[in-house]
Amino acid sequence: MAEIRVPVLVVGAGPVGVSTALFLGRHGVRSLLVEQRASTSTLPRAPGLQARTMELFRAAGVHNEIRALEVGDSHPYFEGGILQTRTFAEIDDAVVLEAPSLDGPTVSPERVMGCGQDRYERVLAGLARDSGAELRFGTRLTSFTSDDDGVTATIRDLASGEETTVRADYLVGADGAGSRTRQALGLERTGIGTVFNALSIYFRAPELTTVLKDRKFILCYATAAPGTLMGLSRLHGADPWLAAPLYYPEKGETPDDYPDERCVEIIRTAAGKSDMAVEIVAKVPWQGAQLVAETFRQGRVFLAGDAAHVHPPAGGFGANTGIHDAHNLAWKLAAVLAGRAGDALLDTYDAERRGVGGAMARQAMVRNRIRHGYADEETVASMVDDIIITLGYRYQSDAITGGREDAPVLTPNLELTGEPGTRAPHLWLRRDGDRLSTIDLFWDDFVLLTGSRNSGWCEAAERVAKQLSIPVRAFVVGDGGDLVPEDRAWAETYGVSEDGAVLVRPDAFVAWRSAGRAGDQDGSLAAALTRASGLGGGTR
C-alpha cells in the first residue's frame, strides 16, 4: 500500500473543501483534497456569494478570478429581494416577502455576486492546485485514526480500488451533511432536524425570460402549482433555470413521483403558460434541515461547512458560512504549523464558528417560516438583517481580549465599530498614491493600527513581535501616516483616540484595542497577542 505524508488532509471538494485547500495553500500549507465525485459540481447550486465571502477571496488574492465569472451585473437581482406571486406571468403583482440589505460602500470593499456553484467551484479547485494543493477526485476516505501527533487515514481510488495510507498533521472534514468524518467521530447533532423535502429541478425554458418581463429578484415563489410551493432562482444566469418544488413524504410522496412529465407540468403551471417549452436537465432531491454538531473539533480532526452545521437555504447562508469556516480554520492551522501559534488557538475555531453556525441556522429557520407562511409575530420580529448575519457576526473566544461577553453573536443592528470580536471596519485608504481598503491589510500576519507616530504603539509592536517571535505589521493611519483615510476618520471609526491602537487578526477580526496610550504598552500588547495566538493555552 502506498504511503504519503501531508500537513493537512481535506475530505470533500465542494465549495468549503476547495476553499480550505485554497486558503491553506495561500498560507503556504500543502494539503491533499479527496473527493468521491468524479469532478467538481456540474450543477449551479449555491448561486449567491456574499460580500464577506468575496472579501476572503480578495484577501487570498483571487477575487478577480471569481468576479470574472459573474454574468453581467448580478447586483440588481439581489436588490430585487424575495418575491411571491401566483404565477410568474403575474410578476407585476408580486408581493415582496424580503428586501434584505447585503452590502454597501461604507461597509465593505466588495459586493455580493451571483454565480453558479458549477463555475466558481471549478475555478476554486484550479486555484487551489495552483497554490500547492493536490486534488484527487474519484477518491474516498475509507477510515482514519487520530493520535496526539496526527491522523492516519486510508483513501481508496474508486476506479482502480488502489488504497493509499495518508499521514497528516490534521484532517478537515468538509464532506457535507452526511459527513462520514463526523459519523466516524461519533459526534451528535442538535436542532430541529428535517423541516421540509424539496426537489431541485434544473431546466431550460427560453420563453421564461419574456414571461418574467426582466423582473430582477433573488428568488420568486409561485403558489399556483397544486400541492406545492415552487421557488425560482436566477442568480446564476438562468442557464439552466433552477426551480425547487416541495414534496411531502408524510403524504407518501417520493422523488420517484416526479417524472419529467410532472415536473414540466409544475413548471408550466407556476409560469402561467401552459404551452411553454421546457427541457428538464437534472433533478436532485434534498432535505431542508437544521442541525449543528456538538463540537467542530475533536483532537486533530475538524468539521467545516455542512458537515458541521446544516440549515434551510433561506438566506443563502450555507456555502458562504462554510467558506467562512474554511478561512477561520486555515489561518489558524497555518500559524500553528509554522510555530507562530499554540494549539489552544485551534480550540477557538470551535468556540467561534460553532456560535456563528448555530446563529445562522436559527436565522435560516426564521426565514423559512416566513417564506412558507407559518411565522408568528415573535418569529418575524426575531429576523436579523442579512448584512448583520454575513458581515456583522461576533466572535467570543479565548483569543479575543476585551470583547463584550454579554453581546450576542448577532446584534439587532450592524455594529462594526472596531470592538474586539467583530470584523474590522472597512475604510478606503491611500498609500503611495494607491487606493486600498483596510480589509486589504489583513491576511497572514497580525496587524497593529494606530493614529499617531508619537503614540509609541509601533515601537511597542516591534519589540513585542521580536519577544514572542510572532510577526506583527504596524501602520500609522492618518494625515502624514503610512495610510491616509479618504473619507472617514480612522480613530473615530475604530472607537479609539489618535493615540490608541487596534490589534487585528489575519482574518480581519479585531483581537484587542486600547482607547489611548497605555501605562505599560509592551505588557498590554504582549498579553493580547499571546491570547490571540493561543500561546497561553495548553494542548488537547
Residue 64 cell numbers, joined: 478577480
pLDDT at 540: 35
Which value, in Å, is the radius of gyration of the alpha carbons in the chain? Answer: 24
pLDDT at 238: 65
pLDDT tens digits for range 219-258: 888 988 766 667 787 776 667 888 888 888 998 999 999 9
Residue pair 491/452 in contact (Cβ under 8 Å)? The answer is no
Distances (CA, A) of 359 to 55, 233, 388: 21, 25, 11
Residue pair 71/116 in contact (Cβ under 8 Å)? The answer is no
pLDDT at 125: 97
pLDDT at 538: 39
The answer to whether the bond into 240 is cis (omega within 30° of 0) is yes
DSSP code, position 291: E
CATH of domain 428-532: 3.40.30.120
Active site residue 374: no
| DSSP secondary structure of 320-386 | HHHHHHHHHHHHHHHHHHTTSS-THHHHHHHHHHHHHHHHHHHHHHHHHHHHTT---HHHHHTPPPH
Dihedral Cα 206, 208, 209, 214, nearest 10 deg: 180
Residue pair 168/144 in contact (Cβ under 8 Å)? The answer is no
DSSP code, position 509: B
pLDDT at 226: 66
Cα(286)–Cα(244) distance, rounded to whole angstroms? Answer: 10
pLDDT truncated to tens, each residue of the chain (540 aa)? 789 999 999 999 999 999 999 999 999 999 999 999 999 988 888 888 999 999 999 999 999 999 999 888 888 888 899 899 999 999 999 999 888 888 999 999 999 999 888 889 999 999 999 999 999 999 999 999 999 999 999 999 999 999 999 999 999 999 999 999 999 999 999 988 888 888 888 899 999 989 999 899 988 889 887 666 677 877 766 678 888 888 889 989 999 999 999 999 999 999 999 999 999 999 999 888 889 999 999 999 999 999 999 988 777 788 999 999 999 999 999 999 999 999 999 999 999 999 999 998 888 888 878 877 777 888 888 889 999 999 999 999 999 999 888 889 999 999 999 999 999 999 999 999 899 999 999 999 999 999 999 999 999 999 999 999 999 999 999 988 999 999 899 999 999 999 999 999 999 999 999 999 988 999 999 999 999 999 975 333
pLDDT at 536: 77
pTM summary value: 0.94
Cα(410)–Cα(402) distance, rounded to whole angstroms? Answer: 18
Residue in this structure with the C-alpha cell 434544473, named with its chain if needed: 202
Distances (CA, A) of 301 to 116, 163, 240: 30, 21, 38
Three-state secondary-structure class, residue 250: helix
pLDDT at 229: 63
Burial status of residue 416 (CB atoms within 10 A of its CB: 0-12, 13-18, 19 or more): buried
Helix, strand, coil percentages for the chain (3-state, nearest 5): 30, 25, 40
Long-range contacts of 97-103 (CB under 8 A, 24+ apart): 97/221, 97/370, 97/371, 98/367, 98/370, 98/371, 100/218, 100/315, 100/385, 100/386, 100/387, 101/385, 101/386, 101/387, 102/50, 102/51, 102/78, 102/386, 102/387, 102/390, 103/50, 103/51, 103/387, 103/391
Q: Where are the domains of the chain?
A: 1-341, 428-532
CATH of domain 1-341: 3.50.50.60
Which of 77, 202, 221, 349 does the annotation list as catalytic?
Answer: 221
Residue pair 116/45 in contact (Cβ under 8 Å)? The answer is yes
Three-state secondary-structure class, residue 123: helix
